[in-house]
Amino acid sequence: MGTSTAWPGPRGGPWSTARRQLTQWRPDRDRGRAELLDGIAERYLRALHQTLRDDPSAFGLRDAARAAGERLTDTLGSLATQCPASAEALLARLATEVGGDGGTVADAVTRAAALAAGRAALERHPTLRADLSDGAEGRNDGRAPAGPGLPSDILCLLYRLFFAETVAGFLRSVVAEHITLAVPPLLAIDAVGWFADPDGRFAEFVAERVEPLVPDPCEAAAGVVGPVGGGGFGDLVGDAFGDVVGGAFGSGEADEPGAGAASGAGVLATARRLVPTAVDRVLGLITEPGGEEGEVA
């Protein structure tokens, strides 16, 4: 994955169970069997959650995701006030600003996740790419996102997608290591290519399974600052946007409930405050009420 650290992949325990299930799959025979791929992905997701419940520091993934999540909120704050010049510029900023420059596997996963989140957001909003390309002219005639920055729904979507893609990307890297031992050598290259494909079913299943676990900062902030409108992300914190970024947003603290929209309880502060919760939820360290131990929330 372009890191300076060797990656042997996890072994033993729930990972052995997941890898045994992987041996039932053959790229030449089962490529179209979505239910089998989904079952494998579910098993690997459970293995990750169980491992991290036993040792939250495993793989350095929790710390890397939290650090990248905080960088993400900084980037979202900037994107809230100024639209990127193009879709490519958006992707470049996410990759460079959010991903960081660490050399571990977990660091590489977060870099890839930032880029994957941007691509997924563009896929979900097909007009966004053209809108960004239109630039200032497009925004002036109503064809591009309203306001100086990206709309709040896009930024909150990027937030949710990033954490989901972090988990999907990590498990994709694990499977890429496991699969060369799990399938016949002549099929290994094809198999690795299938699982490593960011548009493949395996990663798609994991991301879809995990994304609902991520708290939405727009929805969370709406209970304090009122309904989230269609304007820019920065509009939700009004003229005090700079105070939010330099004050409560930078420290991760928010004002008391009931404060107005132009306060540290705005979406940006909420997004930063929710980073530890978002990470722990997608990594299985926080489960839904009533969920059984050892099962995906």
Per residue of the chain (297 residues), give pLDDT as tens.
544 445 667 888 899 988 888 777 665 565 556 677 788 889 999 999 999 999 999 999 999 999 999 999 999 999 988 889 899 999 999 999 998 888 999 999 999 999 999 999 999 998 888 888 766 444 444 444 445 788 888 999 999 999 999 999 999 888 877 766 555 554 444 544 445 443 467 788 899 999 999 999 998 888 744 444 444 444 443 333 333 333 333 333 434 433 333 233 378 889 999 999 999 999 999 986 434 443 444
296 in a structural domain: no
66 in a structural domain: yes
Residue 107, SS3 per DSSP = helix
75 in a structural domain: yes
258 in a structural domain: no
Domains identified in the chain, total number: 1
Question: Exposed (0-12), middle (13-18) or buried (19+): which is 290, by Cβ within 10 Å?
Answer: exposed
Distance in angstroms (rounded) separating the CA atoms of residues 54 and 282: 15
Question: Exposed (0-12), middle (13-18) or buried (19+): which is 140, by Cβ within 10 Å?
Answer: exposed
Which residues, at least 6 apart from 213, have a Cβ–Cβ distance to it below 8 Å?
Answer: 164, 281, 282, 297
62 in a structural domain: yes
Residue 151, SS3 per DSSP = strand
Report pTM: 0.77
20 in a structural domain: yes
260 in a structural domain: no
Distance in angstroms (rounded) separating the CA atoms of residues 286 and 274: 13
235 in a structural domain: no
Provide the residue range defining the domain that includes 131: 14-216+275-282
| Torsion, CA 150, CA 204, CA 209, CA 84, rounded to 10 | -10
Alpha helices in 125-216 (DSSP H): 126-140, 152-182, 185-196, 201-210
